[in-house]
Structure formats: C-alpha cells, structure tokens
Amino acid sequence: MGVIELNHPLVSHKLAILRNKNTGTKEFREIVGELSTILCYEALKDAKTVEEEIETPLCKMKAHKINEDNYAFIPILRAGTGMLDGLINIMPNAKIGHIGMYRNEETLKPVKYYYKTPKNLAKREVIVLDPMLATGGSAMDAITMLKEDGAINLKFLCILAAPEGIQKMQEIHPDVPIYCTAIDEHLNENGYIVPGLGDAGDRIFGTK
C-alpha cells in the first residue's frame, strides 16, 4: 500500500507555519485542521459513489454521492482529536470513535487507557488519525486493536511521519496506507521527529 506524501506548494506553506516555534495555539490548531482536510481529500480519492437522480434549478440529472455512513474516523487521543474537525467538516455523517493511549516517556511504549469505536467496523472504511507518526508504537497498537475488532479496510492519516515509524508500520501492517504531509529526517534520542514541530498535542491544546 505504501506511503502517500502530499506534494503541494500550499501544503508546504501551511506546514512551514506549523513548524515555526512562534506560531500560536489558535493558528496552530486551525492549520492542523486545514491540513487534515487536505489529507482526507487525498485519502478519499478512491471512495465509492452511488448514482442518484437529483434536480438542479434547470433540469434533472444523475449525480454521484458517497455514503458517509460507510466511514469511521478514529483519532488517537489526545492529539488525534486536533485533526478530527478537518474531516468532519467535509464528511459530517461519518461515525466517530476514540482510542486513548499515551507514550511512556522512559520506555517510549504506548499505554492504553480508553477504547470506544462504532459498531460494524468490518463494513466501514476506518481512518485512523494522529498528527505524528514517530516511533510508530501508538499507530501500530491502535490499528492492531481495530483489526481485532473486525476492521478490514483501514488508512492512517498524519501530519508528519518519521522513517522509523513508517518502517515499523509497514512491517506490522503492510496493508494499511499512510497519508502524510511530509516525511521528516529521523527521530532524536527522546523519540521526537526532527526537524518536526514539537509536541503536537501540547501545541494544539496550549498545554506547554
């Protein structure tokens, strides 16, 4: 399935603002939403549509629509919720789930504390959200949990990805495509993406 890295001047422009340490909480949060919308457009390029007859002010015609009920958006708490509005704005009737896990700062391992998803995951396209694919641990574990719950068709959306996280994801879940705005250089000794943009959760919610 591979990695789909967005390559567009507008994406580069928005990402440059995100990376800037002087960008404030409000602007940071808004741009995360905007980039998430663009990622969603890319991820849904292969969306199936059904034909429906509608009537414009001038005539009847055959139009093509997506059944939004067939989609589930699953943010990984807490940073993933910062991406959610960008997807809901264009697909408001998709089902929403949440997976809660945090990174142990010493072991860098994900610790789970919450799991709630829509029913019938096997019948839906499941899109998992997390701004940063760093070590890959949280994404890998979240997708494993969703597969155990019946999910078959999954995609992973993030703002930034590190080569280490991509490698781990592709080793464990080679069937899950990764959509990102950029692939950065590496992880530092603390497991943060370099050059990155800092801690996405703290910058989205203004907690640091």
What are the catalytic residues?
103, 107, 199, 202
Q: What is the pLDDT of residue 107?
A: 78
Percent of the chain surpassing pLDDT 90 = 89
Q: What is the pLDDT of residue 103?
A: 67
CATH of the domain at 138: 3.40.50.2020
Q: What is the pLDDT of residue 187?
A: 95
Give the separation between CA 25 and CA 151, rounded to whole angstroms.
34
Q: What is the pLDDT of residue 111?
A: 76
Q: What is the pLDDT of residue 1?
A: 59
* Structural domain of 55: 3-205
Q: What is the pLDDT of residue 104?
A: 75
State the average pLDDT over residues 120-140: 95
Q: What are the Cα distances from residue 137, in Å, to 140, 144, 174, 186? A: 5, 11, 15, 15
Name the pairing type of β-strands 50-55 and 182-183: unpaired
Percent of the chain surpassing pLDDT 70 = 98
Q: How many structural domains comprise the chain?
A: 1
Give the separation between CA 54 and CA 45, rounded to whole angstroms.
23
| Side chain identity, residue 83 | M
Give the separation between CA 4 and CA 28, rounded to whole angstroms.
23
Give the separation between CA 68 and CA 33, rounded to whole angstroms.
19
For all residues of the chain together, what is the average pLDDT?
A: 94
Only one residue has tokens 């929403």, namely 96
Cis peptide before 78 (omega within 30 of 0): yes
> In a 3-state reduction of DSSP, which class is residue 79?
coil
Q: At what angle do helices 163-172 and 137-148 cross, to 10 degrees?
A: 20
State the average pLDDT over residues 1-24: 94
**DSSP codes, 103-132:** E-TTT--EEEEEEE--S-GGGSEEEEE-SE
Q: Based on C-alpha coordinates, what's the Rg of the chain?
A: 17
State the average pLDDT over residues 117-130: 96
Give, as one character, the DSSP assignment of residue 70. G
For the stretch 154-190, pLDDT in tens is 999 999 999 999 999 999 999 999 999 999 999 999 8
Give the separation between CA 116 and CA 13, rounded to whole angstroms.
35
- The more confident residue out of 70 and 107 is 70
